[in-house]
A and B are shown apart, each in its own frame.
Chain A
Amino acid sequence: MALAKEAYRELEEVVGKEYISDDPALLDCYRYPLSHTAIHIGPYYRVYTPRGAAVLLPGSAEEVQGIVKVCNKYKVKFKPSSTFWSAWGFPLEDDTIQLDMRRMDKILEIDDKNNYAVVEPHVIGATLQAEAMKVGLNTHIHGPGASCSCLASATALGGLGPDTLYMGHHNENLLGVEWVMPDGEILKIGSVGSGLGWFCCDGPGPSLKGLVRGMVGTNGAMGVFTKCAIKLYPWPGPATLPVEGKPPAYKAVLPDNLRAYTLGFPSWKAWADSCYMIFDSGIGYVAHRQFNMFGRDLKGAMVRILSDPTRTLSDIEELLKDPEVQKMTEDMKRDYQIVLAGMTPGDIEWQDKALDKILEETGGWKVKAMLEPDLFNWSLLYMIRLGHKNLNLVFGGGYDGCFGLGGTPDFGTSGEPARVEQVTAFKVEWEKKGNVVACGGDGMMGGIGGMGGGGHSLWENFTHFDPADKASTEGTFEFFNATAKYGAEKGLGPGMEKMNDYARWTDGYTTPKEIRDRILGSAAQPEAFRYQRKFKETFNPNDLGDGYYRTLDDPDE
């Protein structure tokens, strides 16, 4: 639906002619194909998120405020997005205004005394990390990697990743926010709201962190965040990463206080025990089951391909026959990657000794092949920069995680057989149907520490498919229906594969109200969503956000 001419003109006045467009082809760049990664709601073959009414590129908080005021005047929904990695950032309705925040891309401050940075929405993990490293600091980069907005994952959605063990979940790192509220007012949250600087998001000053961010975030449905402060952490490495090698097999030879290992374990119990020991000992800078996203059977071959610029996916089958790759794959069957960062020479020696002791007690090992200098330096760089995360989609362009074994480390590893083996066996059967990549059933990938200091871990079972292939896409969808059912029956908790069905439905538009109410109403604590409805009524009186904000307006309140 086209925007009223008058509204368009007023929006144009706010940002300038150059920074607004309603050209249909341009608008189609702001639609997400729901086939390509299921993004926890599909996949649906050749279905796209709705076309917005216009795209705007604001250059300041004042311009954002101007846009939001025009939207309120004309009752037009708006959806801000910073780096557009997933469907969450795109409109749910045709007549929505899309705000592309990329012009607001400054690192406004790095305070190396108080360890924080103040950033605008389009600052990404790679650039903030590069600048922080120059002053001996580092930033958390959440799971989707270095291309993603630091602000989006700190303020609006998600926020856990491989370095969460040491650098926290990004909701823990948020130290203050500048918020253009849904009615167009600007509010600064936390100490900065009292003019005291960006050091604490809970005050002194307006303490609304729980409302604007909470655990999952408001997903772009409750106003626009125009700056935020993020906590930084010590970086005991060089000011610039000394990268060498040919693409894509870059590697970094870093000082000896930075070490990357792939650990293997003889049993799932040993695997989980080692996680607890890591939490207890306080060692580790990055800890993640990362390369298993390619699958239990394929990861050895994939590591060889990715670290060698002459290789391609066409080498997979030959590599799978190589006894050395077979041995490496077997050694890595129950594995995770860990980076140790010693703050002093004594510290790294102590951490490495502690790790050896953990391995001794659990019967685990450092996977030998991954200690070869080239692989060691390659995986070190990979884990620290997290600049290869589009590998999630390397096989055919489509992936999604299913199951989602979230909890303490032994949640996934206990049971008889271990839950991870149960879901592996289940997936292997579906792999036989030919619609998803046959990777050995276990593509389980995820953090060893799902929150700062550890304690929680989360795995999603990577399922790779071809979004350009109808049978593959629809077969994957069927598989996800089956995994959701299986997960519910086995008490595995809510699967990731249906995570967003309360918001976006099969046609890419807002989930029909009765279905949405049923989904949110059957949640463990539906009261939270009724409470959020009150928030919405107060802060977003014209209801200009979208269904990603979970509100329940069923009659049972």
Chain B
Amino acid sequence: MALEDYKADMERCSQCSYCKWIPFDQVKSWRFAKGCPSIAYNNFLSYSARGRYAVALSLLNGQSTYSDRVVDIVYKCTTCGSCDVSDKICRYNLEPLEMIHELKFRLVEDGQVLPQHTALIEHLRKENNMMEKPAAGRGDWAEGLDIKRVPGESAEVLFHAGCRFSYDEELQETARTAVTILKNAGVDIGIMGENEPCCGGRAYDMGYKEEFTRLAENTIKAWTAAGVKTVVTPCADCYHAFNRLYPPLGAKFEILHTVQYYDRLIKEGKLKFSKTVPMRVTYHDPCHLGRRGEPYVPWEGKEKKIKNQIVIYEPKKPRYNGAWGVYDPPRDVLKSIPGIELVEMERIREYAWCCGAGGGTRETYPDFSNWTATERIEEAKATGAEAIVSACPWCEMNFKDAINTSGDKMKVFDVTNLVKQAI
């Protein structure tokens, strides 16, 4: 698809502004009713999905040209997909998030890029990671662990740590714990270590589609050669890339997030808890595991009209509106830990507020990213929880950074950390 293919969508956007809010049925207060961090922070209409449709149309129609403001509008979006969920409360023939991606792709194609992104992508090309670290150190996180190395050894399940878990020293322990828990529960698991590729998902959300495709094709090749069937990852971004973006490129692997695997093992009686973890926690749905974590459904078809002017698709097109994301497994895992009291924030599941780390905003707009995370911490605090738990290293880091800035006392955990405490 190209940006031009979304022109009819741009003209069909009904300017309702639903994309700025969480679905109205779910509004529980004035304080936590907003859905789109971009317009909530930047205020001008252009920083909503509605506005991005209008900006794209203006560019396509030649009514305006690139400016610093246009670049700012396009990239100051976390690609969290909240707009997409709220849009689809009423609309069945618009794809705002797809268009937002296409708009980013177009700017990258046209060389309208941000220096911070360019540096990251240059590094990614050379060193195969989004952390600006040397490729050679990618497997260091697993040093000393007795875990099979793929492709040299064969394993039923491949554990993909992802860039942040591999390199972030504060978080590496979580990756070590996750893979150990799975191994101890009897899973025949292996890692690729320094050969593990970057999933490319973050490059995709920044607008670097070509880079993503190159990485995805390499990964698919490497996994296929190694005989990989099942991949488990503790990173929501990687999960989304493998689960949603790889299948159209021919990938046919079973993809699981660690929380899904834990949930499965707990329900099969293979993962048991012996310790109490007395803690009141709240769970933050990572966008890429929640609303963007719906399974990929192959579809090829075209637009058609029935009853003269009702726009539908033939054959019936899969509808990604957040209904089928991964919401219950992490909650079920937390609820099964003795002593944990799970309390919910106001914005959860498909209408969760974003952590602010996505779409390349953490790297380029630290104030915006930090504000978005702080908003979430405020919401978590309102529940009376002492900790916010997530299932994504990017969310975790952004929350930790926000807390460091604000001096809050809220603790931040990955689900894995609490599972470990209970074993």
Contacts and interface: CB of A to CB of B under 8 A. Distances in A.
Interface stretch (A16-24, A340-348, A516-524, A537-545): A16-24
B410 interface: no
Interface string A108-135: 0000000000000001111111110000
Interface in B26-59: 26-30, 33, 43-46, 50-51, 54-55, 57-59
Interface in A372-407: 381, 385-398
B44 A25 contact: no
Interface in A19-55: 19, 21, 23-26, 28-33, 35-37, 46, 55
Interface in B66-124: 67, 69-70, 73, 85, 88-94
B43 A126 contact: no
23 contacts: A21-B69, A23-B64, A24-B67, A29-B51, A46-B11, A130-B33, A247-B88, A247-B351, A248-B321, A387-B24, A389-B16, A390-B16, A393-B14, A393-B90, A395-B309, A396-B93, A396-B311, A397-B11, A397-B12, A397-B94, A397-B311, A436-B309, A437-B307
Contact of B70 (A23, A85, A398): A23
Contacts of A509: none
Interface stretch (A181-189, A195-203, A271-279, A463-471): A463-471
A85 B15 contact: yes
Nearest to B51: A29
A414 interface: no
B323 A19 contact: no
Closest 4 CB pairs of A and B: A387-B24, A397-B12, A390-B90, A28-B58
Nearest to B92: A313
A127 B8 CA distance: 32
A525 interface: no
B324 to A, nearest CB: 8
Interface stretch (B185-193, B271-279, B312-320): B312-320
Contacts of B149: none
A147 interface: yes
Contacts of B1: none
B79 to A, nearest CB: 19
A54 B44 CA distance: 11
A126 B247 CA distance: 39
Max chain A C-beta neighbours (<10 A), residue from B13, B25, B306: B25
A388 B309 CA distance: 21
A146 B24 contact: yes
Given A127-B30, A246-B323, A32 B63 contact: no
A389 B16 CA distance: 9
B8 A468 contact: yes
A313 B46 contact: no
A188 B317 CA distance: 54
Given A247-B88, A316-B307, A467-B12, A83 B55 contact: no
Given A250-B26, A317-B306, A381-B25, A397 B14 contact: yes
Interface of B: 7-8, 11-18, 21, 23-30, 33, 43-46, 50-51, 54-55, 57-59, 63-65, 67, 69-70, 73, 85, 88-94, 305-317, 319, 321-324, 350-351
A24 to B, nearest CB: 4
Given A23-B70, A313-B310, A314-B312, A247 B33 contact: no
A83 B312 contact: no
A546 interface: no
Contacts of A457: none
Contacts of B321: 247-248, 309
A298 B307 CA distance: 10
Interface residues of A, number: 83
Contacts of A46: 11
Contact of A25 (B59, B93, B309, B316): B59
B30 A130 contact: yes
Interface stretch (A60-68, A99-107, A152-160, A350-358): A99-107
Given A21-B44, A57-B44, A387-B89, A147 B25 contact: no
A512 interface: no
A442 interface: no
Interface string A81-108: 0011110000000000000101100010
A460 interface: no
A448 interface: no
Given A247-B85, A434-B308, 16 more contacts: A24-B64, A25-B69, A83-B17, A84-B15, A128-B30, A246-B350, A313-B92, A385-B27, A387-B23, A388-B24, A395-B309, A397-B12, A397-B14, A397-B91, A398-B12, A431-B308
A25 B25 contact: no
Nearest to B94: A397
A437 B58 CA distance: 28
Contacts of B55: 25-26, 28-29
Contact of A396 (B26, B309, B323): B309
B44 A26 contact: yes
Given A85-B17, A312-B319, A439 B307 contact: yes
A275 to B, nearest CB: 28
Nearest to B346: A240
B308 A25 contact: no
Given A33-B11, A247-B323, A464-B309, A394 B92 contact: yes
B12 A466 contact: yes
Given A247-B89, A248-B90, A385 B25 contact: yes
A309 B45 CA distance: 30
B11 A36 contact: yes
A241 interface: yes
Contacts of A124: 21, 33
B37 to A, nearest CB: 15
Which residue, of B51, B54, B64, has the highest number of chain A Cβ atoms within 10 A? B54
Interface in A452-474: 464-469, 472
Nearest to A315: B316
A243 B29 CA distance: 14
A372 to B, nearest CB: 19
Contact of B43 (A100, A241, A393, A438): A100
Contacts of B314: 314
A36 B14 contact: yes
A495 interface: no
A127 B32 CA distance: 9
Contacts of A248: 23, 88-90, 321
A100 B29 contact: no
Contacts of A386: 24
> Which of B24, B33, B313 has the largest count of A CB atoms less than 10 A from its CB?
B24
B93 to A, nearest CB: 7
Interface in A234-289: 240-241, 243, 246-248, 250, 252
B322 A247 contact: yes
A168 interface: no
A26 B311 contact: no
Nearest to B17: A147
A80 to B, nearest CB: 14
A394 B90 contact: yes
Interface in A135-194: 145-147
Contacts of B85: 247
B71 to A, nearest CB: 10
A307 interface: no
Given A23-B70, A25-B67, A312 B316 contact: yes
A84 B13 CA distance: 13
Contacts of B70: 23, 25-26
B91 A394 contact: yes
A314 B314 CA distance: 8
B414 to A, nearest CB: 27
Contacts of A145: 24
B27 A127 contact: yes
A435 interface: yes
Contacts of A395: 307, 309-311
A534 B43 CA distance: 37
B247 to A, nearest CB: 20
Contacts of A130: 27-30, 33
